[in-house]
Structure 1
Amino acid sequence: MNFEHLIQINDPLNPFVDTMTREQLWEGLVLRAEQPQLFVLGLDSCTIVSRTESTLERELHYGQATVRDRVTLQPNNSVRYDILATDSYVGGSLTMTIEQPDELQLFLRFEYTTSLPVDESEDARQTQEIVKSAYRESDIDTVRLIRQYVLSPKDAGPLH
């Protein structure tokens, strides 16, 4: 199953939305990669097993379950999460890409690819729509939390 959507970060027509810079958005994406328990409901802890300049190998602990993934960072551009498939977990990837068509607009594109087989039955389509909706809600929450952490007073958030 493949799914993608776009979330507008800066809206020059809406004065009630705090404007973020590309660098602030990137800072939030890095925070999500390094401290995912701040963003992912049900995640107990994250262990960074190895780190290079552009990658993180992580173990995500959900109760008794452990999921391994690899995070690839392209500074100020994108973060890609690759979940390693096991007997218990479906593999897949999530890429979050910053898009800035002009100086006033800023977007974050979310692209999901899973190894779930494509099934055209009505039940499968309904299940896929539920999964897509859950992804979308999670991504909206991610952006909300990035705003909260990045735009909070210097002494209030985990970034400062």
Structure 2
Amino acid sequence: MTEHSTRAVRFAAAYALMRMAADLGDHWIQSDHQAVTKGQHDENDGESSRAGRIACTAHVATYTATQAVALFAGSRALGLRLKPSRVAAALTLSAATHWWADRRIHLRAVAAATGKERFYALGGPLGGAYALDQAFHHTVETVAAVIAGSN
């Protein structure tokens, strides 16, 4: 197998592992409290930015741990020999951008700046906002998988 095909296999496996772990971390492991609270901001009536930051940080910690376990176990099971420094860089990118997006205010601003305000609001929080959130996460996970798969 050539170096290019080996790199492609590591990328594909890292992406599959990170994507599976992301779905698990976002939908099963994240607590109801974290899901409801992580986007809170003081300017919204009765909400707390501090509570939002704490909930988002706790969610991202478990989300990132889930991705780390998946990458470690998958790398061992598949014999990928992913470099720990590359995996750490990929997880750092995933965690930081996940926190940024899940605070919600940032993606809403990007949606407004790109003319996607109506789509963002479409169908409530599990409509356009959720679709744009997931598209953002998938894009970043692709980049993170390239990083993790590079040796």
TM-score by length of structure 1 reads 0.29
Tell me: higher relative CO, structure 1 or 2? Use CA pairs within 8 A at least 6 residues apart.
2
TM-score by length of structure 2 reads 0.30
